[in-house]
Amino acid sequence: MTIDEVSYNYGFRDYQSWVNELFTKNVDFTPELKELRDWVEKNVFGFGERSFYWLWKLIVDEMPANFTFLEIGVFRGQTLALVKLLAKLAGKECICYGITPLDTTDGHWESNYASDIKLIHDTFKLPQPKIIVGLSTDLTIIDEAKYLSPMDIVYIDGGHSYDVVKSDMSNYPQLSSKFLVVDDCCNDILMPWGYFAGISSVTKAVNEWESEQKDFKLLFNVVHNKLYKRNAPDTNI
């Protein structure tokens, strides 16, 4: 299955349950992914849905042999480790960057987040990511991210207040040359009972960004993650 095949099915009546259940099943049938997700759940090293792991696999499958990834809002390192693992399984090299304050910002509990990120990567024998310590809204952090760009993939999962998301959507999508993933932003989509659609403030800011930009196309969502792809350059210009 490819991203294009999933996108083709987007919008049919039972899509939301179909994609979540299929992706979850695929993760559980892939030993390396199941092992990582089981460890994350047991040790509370991250949130989100198990099905997201397969979404990230499809994205990594689209990447060249060497690619770059930027995550806004790292928490304890689940997604950075996952992308590294998927790159390793695919025989690819990925340089992973994360922007995160390494503290209790946005309501996270007290923890040594630098040690947490190191632990999950060491446990699964993965190269350590490059962490940019600070708030994604700080001008110095934004400038540093711009200096490193373009990134092949950008993932936005930072602060969840409207103002922070508005800032992140103004500054980070443009750093992606291929794919953009945004978390917690699907309150505008009818979900099956029991599904977590996201956070209304995040959805509001993301929808406002989407209505004002022309560089990305929404491909599909997996529960509360939305996947966007950068439009091809206009060759007629």
Which two structure tokens, joined as six digits, stand for 219? 């491909």
Q: Give the pLDDT score at 109.
A: 78
Question: Which fold would CATH assign to domain 3-230?
Answer: Rossmann fold (3.40.50)
The pLDDT tens digits along the chain (237 residues) read: 899 999 989 988 899 999 999 999 999 999 999 999 999 999 999 999 999 999 999 999 999 999 999 999 999 999 999 999 999 999 999 999 999 999 888 777 789 999 999 999 999 999 999 999 999 999 999 999 999 999 999 999 999 999 999 999 999 999 999 999 999 999 999 999 999 999 999 999 999 999 999 999 999 999 999 999 999 875 343
Q: What is the pLDDT of residue 215?
A: 96
The SS3 call for residue 124 is: coil
Per-residue confidence (pLDDT) for residue 161, from 0 to 100: 96
Residue 152: what are its φ and ψ, rounded to 5°?
Answer: -70, -40
Determine the residue type at 190: L
Can you give the pLDDT at residue 65? Answer: 98
Q: Residue 183 and residue 52: Cα distance in Å, rounded?
A: 10
**Which of 160, 153, 106, 113 has its CA nearest to residue 133?**
113
Domain boundaries, given as residue ranges, for the chain: 3-230
Q: pLDDT at position 117, please?
A: 98
Q: What is the pLDDT of residue 237?
A: 36
Alpha carbons 84 and 78: distance in angstroms, whole number: 10
Residue with the two structure tokens 């602060």: 159
Confidence (pLDDT) at 125: 98
pLDDT at position 147 is 96
Backbone phi and psi for residue 220, each to the nearest 5 degrees, phi listed first: -175, 170
